[in-house]
Amino acid sequence: MFMQQIHISNSSPIISCLILHKPCLHGNSTHPSLQVWSRPSFFPNQKKQKGFRTGCSKIKAVAVSEIEKKSVKVKVTITVQPTVGGFFSDLGLERGLDDIRDLLGQSLLLELASTTLDPKTGLEKETIKGYVHKKQQSSEEVKYEAEIEVPDSFGEIGAILVENEHHKEMFIRNVVLEGFLTGPVTFSCNSWVHSKFDNPVKRVFFSNKSCLPSSTSEGLKRLREEELELLRGNGQGERKSFERIYDYDVYNDLGEPDNDVDLKRPVIGGDQHPYPRRCRTGRPRCKTDPLSEERSNSVYVPRDECFAEVKQLTFSTKTLYSVMHALVPALSTAIVDKNLGFPVFSAIDDLFNEGLSLPPAKARGLLSNILPRLVRFIKDTEQDILRFETPATMNKDRFFWFRDEEFGRQTLAGLNPCCIEAVTEWPLKSKLDPNVYGPPESAITTEIIEREIKGFITVEEAIKQKKLFILDYHDLLLPLVEEVRKLEGTTLYGSRALFFLTLDGTLRPLVIELTRPPMDGKPQWKQVFTPAWHSTGVWLWRLAKAHVLAHDTGYHQLVSHWLRTHCATEPYIIATNRQLSAMHPIYRLLHPHFRYTMEINALAREALVNANGIIESTFTPGKHSILLSSIAYDKQWQFNLQALPADLINRGMAVEDPNSPHGLKLTIEDYPYATDGLMLWDALKGWITEYVNHYYSGSSLVESDQEIQAWWEEIRTVGHGDKKDEPWWPVLKTKEDLVEILTTIVWITSGHHAAVNFGQYHYAGYFPNRPTIARNNMPVEDPSDPEWQLFLDKPEVTLLKCFPSQIQATTVMSVLDILSNHSPDEEYIGQTIEPAWVEDPIVKAAFEKFKGKLMELEGVIDGRNQDLKMKNRNGAGIVPYELLKPSSEPGVTGKGVPYSISI
């Protein structure tokens, strides 16, 4: 039985040997840096732990010195947040039992642990225990209080252990200790504490004094090591919702072969289909395919990776889930023919003007309550109307999508500005096997290019002067063409699009090449399309452009966005929690950049990238979409090229130049993604450099840090294990190595993700600008086809039939609206300092400097968007480039860089 001594006088020598000693704390009562960093953690039953004494059953009568008798009464206040679906939510027997525990003052058992060992025994000091009791309750918070005596000789408090006596989990905001001469001390928790009835293991909150493994206090070393062991788990069994175990698995949960053989999907991850690893859930295997994992209504993610309550209630989970599970079925009912396209362009405009009537819902106005931006409930007719907001691009210029100059501009300042590259070899030539895919030579000749640039320059000179650029999806897509063409309602080509850099610094589209490999007994087919001055050529160019845009949009969503940010980051999160203690300064640096990512990834596996999910149903590759992502990972993804400067150099968009800003000379000076991105990269790297230098006085500390070395080893050999033997992995030996690795990870989770995510509705909300799918072949591929005659009679109809169908378009538009939306509780980069960073004056000063750099970036971006010389950022009907502007208001704004990938 636990002993309670909250109200006992310190005059008793027997009691004095049980209670805590005064901690060594610094600061004053008004200083915000007294907040203590914490990460919730498991801690095994202490009675079984060697050398850690928490009970008093073996107390002997001993002489107690005067200093041991001295103590201070400490008032403990724990603030608990009422949560949805958890604490305070259920009625019934368990709720009644919990109320009784509250009345008895036994809601939470608190223990304080010292950083120092007992000088007499050399063992860890006994913890002091005390129950807190409910003091006050409101709709926003519940406060629990207690009074505990802390002996002077206890030493610094290094950790708090919490046991939840309720049957339901609790979300603890903070623990405040008041009564010390130095003022109150706050442990900022903001974490879930599971019920002891689910798991008897206690939760540990470490203080926010960051330290490397080598400098860990003796009293905390075992806790630090054992917490990491618990977070890793044993790799066995199905994970439970209250657990916090981090482990790896392949993407074997996207298909549903037990429900339909057509929903079987290959395992993504491994030698056959390389891919980053996801979080292991341990669900049972499918009966018809033992390699695949069964799907379920909820997907496990470690408990503290789940969305915060505001985000849960007002944004991501509820809204996106509703689009997938309520709106999409309603659309299927409203649009019976899934292949029905838009008869005329004005019908597309009606989506923004008139809207689409949805079938009556069981609960009137249900969708309008969940999706107020998209769905309006018309009370007079008792009907839900799906009416889209006009995208910013369309609002400024309704014909923006039609213009070739906008096609070129968006490769530098649009939704996917990270694929354009300089042409360095001529003539263009495929690297694929000619015996399988046909002649490797491109149909784009020197004569065609020089005719298009009107003799202004030769091709050789254009390449030498870096004026010729390319979007090249030829070799990536060509191997998939035959399989994709077997699917209903879609088609595919290998494609190339070339652009010329004008004197204005803008890109002018020159040619598009589309290629079909040998198939169905037919030889390879390829054709070049150019801007034309005759109606047939004009419409063929528009159709070819639609195909290239569909390829670029698919690559954007499956590679630039999903693979490079969401997928590649999940192993970093898992490794960080498995190998870096909550006390480790690098854990604390990375923590805000990882919030909610695992939750949104799990949601994506549930309904976005799964078999027959939204991506497969609306994008060109169809059921082969994730396979395409795997091929891109295998052939293109390199960690060292995820760094923005290295990426730009690799694509020929920049060269190293110590005399230029950021040490790079851009090939195209007015390249908004690069110019803004490099400023953000430098700000991030400066902050991270100062942070790393503060904790690592020399590179030898990096090499000897077993936690950081194990972290990097696990990322390379497990999280991205399919590429573990690649020579391009950075080594981790010096402080500079660590800074580069960390900056790369942070850039991907913040700047890169923001650039490819939050402009989605702006640029793709009007889908003709960025169609997700091209449904029909080019009419010239087979002139005997009736489609050729239809094209000659009504080319507009041919283009509309190539675009997404009505249900595909409205589904994608709905999802993009949500993905582009900033949550009301969005955590923008540099906006709020972490409690752990406040505690150290040097770190706090470095953060304030970083914050100032971000404010400077905001002003620079505003200035660039007003500079008339920068024609890729402004002009008649042009939406200014603000995707890398650090802050934003809530909603679909086309700007704002959150810390993490939270949508």
821 SS3 class? strand
Distance of CA 639 to CAs 317, 636, 670, Å? 30, 10, 27
Q: Which helix (H) or strand (E) holds 436?
A: helix 434-437
- Give the span between the Cα atoms of 377 and 369, in whole angstroms: 8
Question: How many residues are there in the chain?
Answer: 903
**φ and ψ at residue 864, rounded to 5 degrees:** -65, -40
Count Cβ atoms below 10 Å from residue 621 Cβ, excluding itself.
25
- Give the span between the Cα atoms of 158 and 209, in whole angstroms: 8
- Please report the DSSP string for 663-716 in residue order: GEEESSS--HHHHHHHHHHHHHHHHHHHHHHHH-SSHHHHHH-HHHHHHHHHII
The answer to whether 737 touches 731, Cβ cutoff 8 Å, is yes
Active site annotation includes 903: yes
- Beta bridge partners, 891, equal 822
- Give the span between the Cα atoms of 461 and 464, in whole angstroms: 5
- Give the span between the Cα atoms of 250 and 268, in whole angstroms: 6
Active site annotation includes 133: no
Distance of CA 526 to CAs 344, 446, 782, Å? 30, 16, 12
- Give the span between the Cα atoms of 10 and 5, in whole angstroms: 10
The answer to whether 231 touches 723, Cβ cutoff 8 Å, is no
Would you state the structure tokens that stand for residue 339, as one six-digit string?
A: 């292949």
Nearest to 208 by CA among 38, 40, 29: 38
Angle at 492 between CA 490 and CA 493, to 5 degrees: 160
468 SS3 class? strand
Spatial CB neighbours of 542, under 8 Å, sequence gap ≥ 6: 795, 799
Active site annotation includes 586: no
- Give the span between the Cα atoms of 245 and 595, in whole angstroms: 16
Question: Which of 561, 584, 591, 720 is an active site residue?
Answer: 561
For strands 278-279 and 248-249, give the pairing: antiparallel
Distance of CA 170 to CAs 142, 187, 197, Å? 10, 16, 13
> Edge to edge, what strands does the sheet with 202-206 contain?
35-36, 185-193, 170-178, 71-81, 142-151, 128-137, 108-114, 157-164, 202-206, 42-43
Would you state the structure tokens that stand for residue 511, as one six-digit string?
A: 């040619």
114 SS3 class? strand
Spatial CB neighbours of 405, under 8 Å, sequence gap ≥ 6: 506, 508
Residue 23: half-sphere exposure toward Cβ, Cα within 13 Å: 27
Spatial CB neighbours of 521, under 8 Å, sequence gap ≥ 6: none
Question: Which of 566, 624, 752, 762 is an active site residue?
Answer: 566
- E strands within 214-261? 248-249
- Beta bridge partners, 571, equal none
The answer to whether 491 touches 471, Cβ cutoff 8 Å, is no
Question: Which of 601, 757, 777, 872 is an active site residue?
Answer: 757
- Give the span between the Cα atoms of 130 and 128, in whole angstroms: 7
Active site annotation includes 757: yes
Tell me the H-state helices in 126-273. Answer: 221-232
Question: Which of 21, 753, 762, 822 is an active site residue?
Answer: 753
For strands 35-36 and 185-193, give the pairing: parallel
**φ and ψ at residue 475, rounded to 5 degrees:** -75, -25
Active site annotation includes 753: yes
The residues annotated as belonging to the active site are 561, 566, 753, 757, 903
